[in-house]
Amino acid sequence: MKIIEQLIETQEHFGVISSEIILITGSIILLILGILRLPLFWIKVFAAVVLLGSFLFAQQIFGFFFTRTIIRDDLSYLMTQLLPLITLGVLCFKRQIHQSHEFYFLLMSVLTGSLFMVASHNLLILYLAIELTSYASYLLTGFRFNEKGSEAAMKYLLFGGVSSAVMLFGISLLYGANDSLYFDTLEFSLLGATGLFFFLSGLFFKTSIVPFHIWVPATYEGASTDVVAFFSTVPKIAGFAALYHVFQWTNGLFNPFLEQLILLLAILTIIWGTLAALRQTDIKRMLSFGAVAHSGFILPLCLAMDTYSIFKYYVIIYMVMNILAFLFVQLHEKKGENLSLSDMSGLGIKFPLLGVISVIWAVALVGLPPTGGFMAKLFLFSTAWQHYESIDSLYWLTFILVGILSSAASLYFYLRVPYFYFFKEDQSKKIKINKSHFLILTLLAFTLILLFIQPNIFDRFAPMITHE
């Protein structure tokens, strides 16, 4: 009977990570199919089936598993639903420049690592998940097969290697201070707090928090746009979800100084991203610095345990508007060339519906109605104000003021795209409009409007689970 009970328990443990198991199995098969040189079309179809299976077989079983190394809660369950769908969307818009069987294997590897990042309750497991995500990301960056892509991949690798080394050093300090690698067993000490900050550097690197953001502009500019759309959402949001878990379960390590330091990093991230975006003419570089600024907006939501619903809403909004923006850029790109603002000149006369879509994603990224971006920032600033009133912290007040000024400044660089689209002289640019591509852009734009009207529409994906 004891053996049967153990088998049942083991089955339950593996059942909770069924999405991850499907991805691992699918990745191995994809690698084998690539070695056998199966036609790329069928490999792409199989990859899509694996992603769909990962979404459909996500198990809503909550608790700790595998001797508390894996946690399944409302947030990790939500990510097992959203991240495969985002990856599937990116896969659908893969350009033919990725003439390699390995591309699909690497894409699955990043997604698998991202899901384990979200589900990890152990420092070492989280580190290994980040490394799996990172090494696959380094290779994906170079899949543009040109000088700029190779340079971006090398910079990403070098900065990532330094970040990983610092992170591993932080883990050693945390283990030395607490004799444990589990989040909820870590207690405050000077050594432990120092180790925690070093450890967090790896997650700050993934989420492009200043000063760990240096890799972002070169990577976003050098990688192909579909890969950038993937990088800016899947591993990045997984990193923020992991940060949320770390902050949630390591409250014993926190003191006012560490909280203030993290708020300061958020403020600096917003300032740096906004100022850098102001002087960009390349649209992908502009969006990359804008993404850095948005990281600063999301980071404080990871600190407080009472912000889950707002955190969930903000990251969903961020994913939708970010994918919409990059897919919009991809539609206008010529093979092997990046897109500048001048390339958009006068296209709104020829393609007015695309012009409307450009207005929607630009307005959403700024944080204006009638888009979900407005509601996301409204909820964020309201929560920040509540924390300021409760603890009277100058850092929370500074965050609010900097956030409002950043949003005002972003009016300039984001709205330049629709301005060039409608009001600049027609340069007679020719673009090929793919109907399915246009349909997806329209659906994403409609989603941003819908999330303004019904902010709680995604609550049905993952009900709030209270941790005891």
- Among 109, 90, 41, 108, residue whose Cα is nearest residue 228: 90
The residues, ordered by sequence, that sit 6+ positions from 25 with a Cβ below 8 Å of its Cβ are none
- pTM for the full predicted model: 0.88
Residue 464 pLDDT: 38
Query: Is pLDDT of 45 > 80?
Result: yes
H helix runs in 179-222, sequence order: 190-206, 215-222
Residue 270 pLDDT: 93
Residue 254 pLDDT: 60
- Do 72 and 119 form a contact (C-beta atoms < 8 A)? yes
The DSSP secondary structure of 212-245, one letter per residue, reads TTTHHHHHHHHS-HHHHHHHTTHHHHHHHHHHHH
Beta carbons within 10 angstroms of residue 337's beta carbon: 8
DSSP state of 122: B
Residues 14 and 4: their CA atoms lie apart, in Å, by 15
User: What is the average pLDDT score of the chain?
Assistant: 81
Residues 95 and 83: their CA atoms lie apart, in Å, by 20
Lowest-confidence range among 53-67, 108-122, 153-167?
53-67
Query: Is pLDDT of 297 > 50?
Result: yes
| pLDDT tens sequence across 413-448 | 888 888 888 877 766 566 677 777 778 888 888 888
Share of the chain above pLDDT 90, in %: 6
Q: Residue 305 — very low, low, confident or very high, per pLDDT cuts 50/70/90?
A: low
